[in-house]
Structure 1
Amino acid sequence: MLKDNLKLLLDYRDSPFKLGIVVDMPLYEYELENGEDCKVCGGRFTLRRPLTVKPLTNCPLCKKSVKKMISGFNTPTITKPVSISDAKKAGFTVLKKTSKGEYERQ
């Protein structure tokens, strides 16, 4: 029994529950509501869940009450500036400001 619980805990810590994780699901961070540490879940854990599923109210391992934390998120990084030719290929109209303060197509 202890061996099974330890394996469950290790699987849980390596990859949130190993339940066929889909890559495009967001990560949610949860913390025990009373703020105490727990020997089973560590008091805080991260879990991938679909957007359509309601937030957890209890820890799946220790069953204590949890709250969803506000955490960081990923934003894409542009590695190079967009060129005029890239903008035109994407269907945008590129304008250039003239010396008179008006704009004309390039």
Structure 2
Amino acid sequence: MKQAIVARTDVGMGTGKLAAQVAHASLSAYEDADRRTRKEWKGEGQKKVVLKGESESQLFELADVAEREGLPYAVVRDAGHTQLDPGTVTALAVGPGRDNIVDKVTGDLPLY
């Protein structure tokens, strides 16, 4: 099992901002998962991969695919306290879920 986090490359996030947004996405999608999935993923080491996303529209398209596949997911919007405008979509987490199902959604994206 794994979780894939897609972070936008087109909004100019600094390293710390990127790390925070990825963490927000990961935790939010984890909380969206059912108890059995959470337990299984935690038992397998909570595998995660961070991938590059090109745009807000791409993240929403991937979220739609995740929903159709029955995967937990979370879209993160920044609060706008530091580097970005309020409401800027920064990241999408897909899963936790079975590797092959998560790969149906994010398998073509490059590593961050």
Same fold (TM > 0.5):
no
Q: Whose RCO is larger (CA < 8 A, sep 6+)? A: 2
Higher helix share: 2
Greater strand proportion: 2
Q: How does the TM-score come out when normalised to structure 2?
A: 0.22
Between Structure 1 and Structure 2, whose CA radius of gyration is higher? 1
Q: TM-score, normalised to structure 1's length?
A: 0.23
